[in-house]
Amino acid sequence: MTTNEIPYKIYLTEDEMPKSWYNMRADMKNKPAPLIHPGTHQPLKLEELTPIFCEELCKQELNDSDAHIAIPEPIRQFYRMYRPSPLVRAYCLEERLNTPAHIYYKFEGNNTSGSHKLNSAIAQAYYAKQQGLKGVTTETGAGQWGTALSMASAYFGLDCQVYMVKCSYEQKPFRREVMRTYGATVTPSPSNTTAIGRKILEQFPDTTGSLGCAISEAVEKATSQEGYRYVLGSVLNMVLLHQSVIGQETMAACDKYGIVPDIIIGCAGGGSNLGGLIAPFMGRKLRGEADYRIIAIEPASCPSFTRGKFLYDFCDTGHVCPLAKMYTLGSEFIPSANHAGGLRYHGMSSTLSQLYADGLIEARAVEQSAVFKAATEFARCEGILPAPESSHAIKAAIDEAIKCKESGEAKNIIFGLTGTGYFDMTAYKAYNDGTMSDYIPTDADLERGFSHIPQFPGNTIN
Ligand SMILES: *Cc1c(COP(=O)(O)O)cnc(C)c1O
């Protein structure tokens, strides 16, 4: 196909939106390792997962064989309110960088949650409602996931209880109010509303909280209330599955205009946006139909891919969740206090971990001051104020575009612009004031985290 003139924003029609989610695992030769029981180390069966998660979501979590799973019509209906999202040609950024590269970004920030997280929140709320549940519990760090779930819960008339990492709760009072406006209850974590929260507070009275700790509280709260289940906004296979709408729309937009990506870049916290963005492209790669360079970008202060261990580990600080095999820094790892840019989870999606171990994706760690520099450069020419998380991908896309300038290659670079940064102005302020610093954990810092990874036959550090 000859390329049409490529518009600034490539929009698909509602009809061109995906009708099913794409499950990468079906095409993976080496399947991601299953979740296992922390006591017996046996793979978890459906009936062991259903007391924690909604039944249909457990089935999706365990499904390694169906490549396509139909998106229920009520979910598509909701998607239509804010999707399809545009694939934007970053003409202004290209001009600013004076690069021959063609840069595109898939923009997921055009909804109130300000991120891609709504794509999975609405699916999870739907299945909870279908099952006749009263409500859901969850944790939130920066707040986008809690907001997305509050919106989705309000839409389906579910109660929503959010444990918000204490330092975010204090730093982002407006995030909290958005969630409360959608009807959610927001509790700073650790709290004295759960046994695990009380225990953590007793041990570490001054802690500002962590995602791992908030997860433990939310799980305890779900399993101790009749008619409630726990939902998670990243890391799990089911979340990557829902996020595949991002990649499928991106691929449809590329195919429509004859764009063949050379490099696909995404930021990686727990791996859901990256897993979703790359899904159909990875499918082609796994089936030998095409090849792409795929790069995961993580913070140098929380470097699970680039410096973590590929082992079974706890998903949460309180150790109430199953063990997952993933690149991990240890469930007690907490990024240094000066880290501002999100992406602070200690582990990584087991699907992406397996793809990384198999050499199918690359990973790179970047320092936060360089990330905010890229964010600022992007905001000033493309207009959008990016989320710090998304800006990790911007930084890498700019670096790749500069390499193209040096080599004279007109590569097609696509990155995921996962959201907007309106609630991250404390971090932007530190950058603007020149007080932002970089802290890269030392090997000794990381060893402390690794020392909490459970050791058992087949799961040893050395
Ligand atoms: C949550 C979030 C991320 C990181 O989570 P993943 O599961 O790795 O995608 C990235 N960007 C934004 C805007 C987020 O809200």
The pLDDT value recorded for residue 211 is: 85
Cα separation values, 425 from 5, 97, 172, 422, 432, Å? 37, 26, 9, 6, 10
The pLDDT value recorded for residue 2 is: 43
Whether the domain at 3-19+83-114+237-450 and the domain at 21-68+117-230 fall into the same CATH topology = yes
Q: Is the CB of 371 under 6 A from ligand 1?
A: no
How many A from CA of 147 to the centre of ligand 1? 13
Cα separation values, 354 from 78, 297, 325, 392, Å? 32, 16, 9, 22
Task: Report helix, strand or coil for 289.
Answer: coil
Q: Is the CB of 242 under 6 A from ligand 1?
A: no
Residue 151, token pair as written in the block: 């919106």
Q: Is the CB of 117 under 6 A from ligand 1?
A: yes
Nearest to 24 by CA among 362, 226, 278, 391: 278
How many A from CA of 269 to the centre of ligand 1? 6
- Measured CA to CA, the distance from residue 328 to residue 293 in angstroms comes to 23
Counting atoms of ligand 1 from 1, which one is nearest the CA of 117?
Answer: 15
Residue 274, token pair as written in the block: 């990256």
The pLDDT value recorded for residue 4 is: 57
How many A from CA of 39 to the centre of ligand 1? 31
The pLDDT value recorded for residue 342 is: 80
CATH pick for 21-68+117-230 out of 3.50.50.60, 3.90.110.10, 3.40.50.1100, 3.30.70.890: 3.40.50.1100
Residue 391, token pair as written in the block: 């800006």
Residue 74, token pair as written in the block: 């009520």
Counting atoms of ligand 1 from 1, which one is nearest the CA of 269?
Answer: 8
Sign, CA torsion 443/447/448/452: positive
The pLDDT value recorded for residue 5 is: 87
The three-point CA angle 456-459-462 to 5° equals 110
| Runs of H (alpha helix) within 349-442 | 350-357, 368-382, 388-407, 425-433
- Measured CA to CA, the distance from residue 411 to residue 436 in angstroms comes to 33
The three-point CA angle 117-242-383 to 5° equals 40
How many A from CA of 164 to the centre of ligand 1? 15
Residue 124, token pair as written in the block: 């999870």
- Measured CA to CA, the distance from residue 356 to residue 350 in angstroms comes to 10
How many A from CA of 240 to the centre of ligand 1? 12
How many A from CA of 26 to the centre of ligand 1? 24
Q: Is the CB of 269 under 6 A from ligand 1?
A: yes
Q: Is the CB of 270 under 6 A from ligand 1?
A: yes
- Measured CA to CA, the distance from residue 238 to residue 257 in angstroms comes to 30
For a ligand 1 pocket test, name from 110, 115, 371 the mutation site with the most ligand atoms within 8 angstroms of its C-beta. 115
Counting atoms of ligand 1 from 1, which one is nearest the CA of 114?
Answer: 13
Counting atoms of ligand 1 from 1, which one is nearest the CA of 141?
Answer: 1
Nearest to 292 by CA among 321, 255, 325, 265: 265
CATH class held by domain 3-19+83-114+237-450: alpha beta
Find out whether 90 and 382 touch, Cβ atoms under 8 Å.
yes
Sign, CA torsion 245/247/248/252: positive
Q: Is the CB of 267 under 6 A from ligand 1?
A: yes
The residues near 42 (Cβ < 8 Å, ≥ 6 apart) are 36
The 87-89 sheet, strands edge to edge: 9-10, 87-89, 102-107, 412-417, 263-267, 293-299, 362-366
Q: Is the CB of 216 under 6 A from ligand 1?
A: no
How many A from CA of 272 to the centre of ligand 1? 7
- Measured CA to CA, the distance from residue 443 to residue 446 in angstroms comes to 5
The pLDDT value recorded for residue 212 is: 83
Q: Is the CB of 348 under 6 A from ligand 1?
A: no
Q: Is the CB of 343 under 6 A from ligand 1?
A: yes
Q: Is the CB of 234 under 6 A from ligand 1?
A: yes
Look-up of token digits 């920066």: 142
Q: Is the CB of 389 under 6 A from ligand 1?
A: yes
* Nearest protein CA to atom 2 of ligand 1, as residue: 389
Total-model pTM: 0.97
Counting atoms of ligand 1 from 1, which one is nearest the CA of 144?
Answer: 15
Q: Is the CB of 390 under 6 A from ligand 1?
A: yes
- Where are the domains positioned within the chain? 3-19+83-114+237-450, 21-68+117-230
Residue 275, token pair as written in the block: 């897993």
- Measured CA to CA, the distance from residue 344 to residue 269 in angstroms comes to 6
What is the mean pLDDT, run by run of 10 residues, along the chain of 462 residues? 74 95 98 95 96 97 98 98 98 98 98 97 98 97 94 98 93 93 97 95 91 92 97 96 98 96 97 98 98 98 97 89 95 83 89 98 97 98 97 98 98 98 94 95 96 95 82
- Measured CA to CA, the distance from residue 385 to residue 403 in angstroms comes to 25
Find out whether 333 and 346 touch, Cβ atoms under 8 Å.
yes
